[in-house]
Amino acid sequence: MNVGVFGRTVELDAGRVAVSEAELRAQVGEYVAGDRRTFDVSVALPDGFVGDVMAEMRAIPYGETRTYGELADALDTAPVAVGQACGKNPVPLVVPCHRVVGAESLGGYSAGDGPALKRRLIEHERNAGD
């Protein structure tokens, strides 16, 4: 399913979440409006390494970021492998891969229009309390 986020389209695999598409759209809308910091949905994580990386991403608090290297250290792997797994996240935004950044750059983003949306999501979360 596709959802609108800050004028961009983000594709979410609705089959990975345990809520209706209408409920998921409502929660995305609340997030964009600044009224929601977490998604109240159960996510079926893929088996294997991608699922392991997604579990680490889910633990990153709203408004904070972690580097690919920090996640790699936690998973005893390489930052490049973490980045590749982030790109396979079937539910970006719900599992916040936008909160994973490079040590010296923003890094990539597979949703919307890529890094521009990633930057907007990070700014949105950092400014939510203002």
Q: What is the pLDDT of residues 36-57, one digit of tens each?
A: 999 999 999 999 999 999 999 9
| Right CATH for 2-126 from 3.90.1300.10, 3.40.309.10, 1.10.10.10, 3.40.190.10 | 1.10.10.10
Distances in Å between the Cα of 111 and the Cα atoms of 25, 80, 87 are 16, 18, 9
Tens-digit pLDDT profile for residues 1-50: 999 999 999 999 999 999 999 999 999 999 999 999 999 999 999 999 99
DSSP 8-state class, residue 120: H
- What residues are annotated to the active site? 97
Helix/strand/coil for 66: strand
Coil, helix or strand for 4?
A: strand
Residue 130 has pLDDT above 60, yes or no: no
Q: What is the pLDDT of residues 84-102, one digit of tens each?
A: 999 999 999 999 999 999 9
Q: Where are the domains of the chain?
A: 2-126
